[in-house]
Amino acid sequence: MLSPEDAAALVLPSRLFDEEWYAGLVGRSFASRAEAVAHWVAQPGDDAPHPLFEPLWLYPRGWWRQHAPDPLSYYLSRAERKGRSPHPRYPQAELGPLEDWLVDHEPAELLAPVVARAAPGKVVVRPTSDDLGQLVRWARHLAASQPDATVDLTRLEGAAERTLASVAADLPSVHVGGTLPDRHGVTVTVDDGVAPPRWRWLEPLLAALDRPGVSGVQPVLVGDDRTITAPALLGHPVSSLDRLDGTELGERFPGVEARRADAGEAAEGVRVLTTASWLPGPRHAVPALDALLPTPTGLRWSIDIAAGASPIGRRWGDWHFARSLADALERLGQSVEIDHPETRGRATRAETDVVLVVRGLERVAPQPGAVNLLWVISHPEDVTPEELAGFDVAYAAGTAWAARHGVRPLLQCTDTTRFHPGAGEADPAGGALFVGNARGGPRPVVTAALAAGVPLRVVGSGWSEHGVEVAADRIANEDLPAAYATAGVVLNDHHDGMRSEGFVSNRVFDVLAVGGRLLTDEVPGLADAVGADVPTWRTDDDLARLARPPYDAWPGPDERRALAERIVAEHSFDARAATFLAAARAHLDSGG
């Protein structure tokens, strides 16, 4: 611990102590620089010794107090002090140590007038934390991701106000100190301990607030492991709360709440939970919500998938595949959660009876004490005999691969609650449609179709770098059935490894289930898998001939509908769920 005398000896010659600035800040005059330094060292508080040295910014938790009587002497006494800028507006990485820069420059060169504050928008976000680090993160996060939202930090004063005003100097949507002009719209209150996420969260929160009869909305809170920390089912994956979306909250739990500006606690409308928006936050259980969940019946399942746990992972096909399978299992009376790479190590997974791994890009270790099922639906080249041997029952969606590895064949399928006859009629003069991402390189069917001059509507991401114009970067899953059913023809291809091993993609079943015209590449066993001959392509000439009207290679509407009904009957998620449930029960009954 530095003594006051040693601390003053370090501060006295430093350019980072400006006696005139400090005198104005504390509202008094000093007879000499030494007197001003002595005053600073004796009672630094949250004041600043220089316009470019902000102790609260540099040491937001007051770490210096254990080592020195004031933050500046602590900073000056440490060799590593040059590693971090002592002020939010000083770019130390570019300009070097602040003391060296001050030899030839004045603080005013960096402290130019701040940009004008923007008028309050329709949405005002009000972080309530007293933690400066959290407030800085929120201000920067919202200014970058939600520039139309106003950040209300008007309650701040003193050193916190001065520091955040510096942070927000070029962030016009952030209002620090003073008052905020009258506003109308929505107020989002962020409680202490809630951190800004790396994904979009405000839009789904506001969308839930637009529901009829709703005056307030709270989102789910998650921990670093992406399991729930509030409001219920602590430690479980977020999929556990999906069924509570829109549930009325009898009380507000600490976290985040969006309310209309004119909707006080007594206003008409209810406060509800939305599971479409998540933020990182502290643990807080609302027991009443746990009581609203149905008592688990049947077996407790975890479906383990490769898609990430953050909300963007719900755009993956893996997520929709798992959600459909979970729904089918729940229709059979089972209790199902969906796990991701981030959540598969959660402690609550030990309560699971059955773990079903839908094999993605990486190997997943079997769960001790549970029935472990494996379903290989893609990337079979990565699966080893040793991995297969670790599971109680293994299935593969490729018949040739399954036969060679001694596992049970189980084809992919379709969600017949959405993909079924009646979604629309194929346009006899319509164009070709391809739905899918570029996957890091041009897809063979798209390359061949464009080379053949086929008019093609592409929906997916990652295509611009390959010079392919897209109609949209994504399509809502609920809109896919009509898109497939009404297209002139839907194009499809498979990974080389999947095609050669007889892995028929689920898109094949989706398109056929709505009676659409499917044009796919050749896959061994395709006709046996779907129970009919399906037109296939191999060359550009095939696409030039088949992927444009009059589509005479396909049977008429009645025959396509008959095939659709057969697909629905034999290749649904309900059928696959029944297979898995029977296997799990048989293994449990055998004492395995």
Do β-strands 186-190 and 256-260 pair in parallel, antiparallel, or remain unpaired? antiparallel
SS (H, E, C) 214-277: EEEEEEEEECCCCEEEECCCCCCEHHHHHHHCCCECCCCCCCEEEEECCCCCCCCCEEEEEEEE
pLDDT of 521 over the 80 cut: yes
pLDDT of 311 over the 80 cut: yes
CATH of the domain spanning 295-413+573-592: 3.40.50.2000
pLDDT of 263 over the 60 cut: no
Fold of 432-571: Rossmann fold (3.40.50)
CA pseudo-torsion sign 242, 245, 251, 256? positive
The mean per-residue pLDDT over the stretch 520-544 comes to: 94
pLDDT of 79 over the 70 cut: no
Phi, psi of 436 (to 5 degrees): 165, 155
pTM for the model stands at: 0.84
- Where in the chain do CATH 3.40.50.2000 domains reside? 295-413+573-592, 432-571
CA pseudo-torsion sign 551, 557, 559, 561? positive
Asked which of 203-207, 274-278, 472-476, 576-580 is least confident by mean pLDDT, the reply is 472-476
Question: In the chain, what is the greatest distance between 2 CA atoms, to the nearest angstrom?
Answer: 100
Residue 245 structure tokens: 């979306």
pLDDT at 267: 56
CA–CA separation, 241 and 340 (whole Å): 15
Q: String of b and e for 102-140 (b: at least 16 CB within 10 Å)? A: beeeebeebeeeeeebeebbebbbbbebeebebbbbbbb
Asked which of 40-49, 166-175, 285-294, 571-580 is least confident by mean pLDDT, the reply is 285-294
> How many Cβ atoms sit within 10 Å of the Cβ of residue 354?
26
Placement of tokens 């611009």 in the chain: 464
pLDDT at 266: 45
Quick: pLDDT tens for 274-287.
999 999 999 988 87
Q: What's the chain's average pLDDT?
A: 91
CA–CA separation, 469 and 277 (whole Å): 31
CA–CA separation, 317 and 130 (whole Å): 41
Query: H or E element: which one contains 37?
Result: helix 33-42
pLDDT cut 70: percent of the chain above it: 97
pLDDT at 23: 84
- In contact, 49 and 19? CB cutoff 8 Å: no
pLDDT at 57: 86
Name the pLDDT band for 486 (thresholds 50, 70, 90): very high
Quick: pLDDT tens for 443-481.
999 999 999 999 999 999 999 888 999 999 999 889 999
The candidate with the shortest Cα–Cα distance to 295, out of 264, 334, 340, 345, is 334
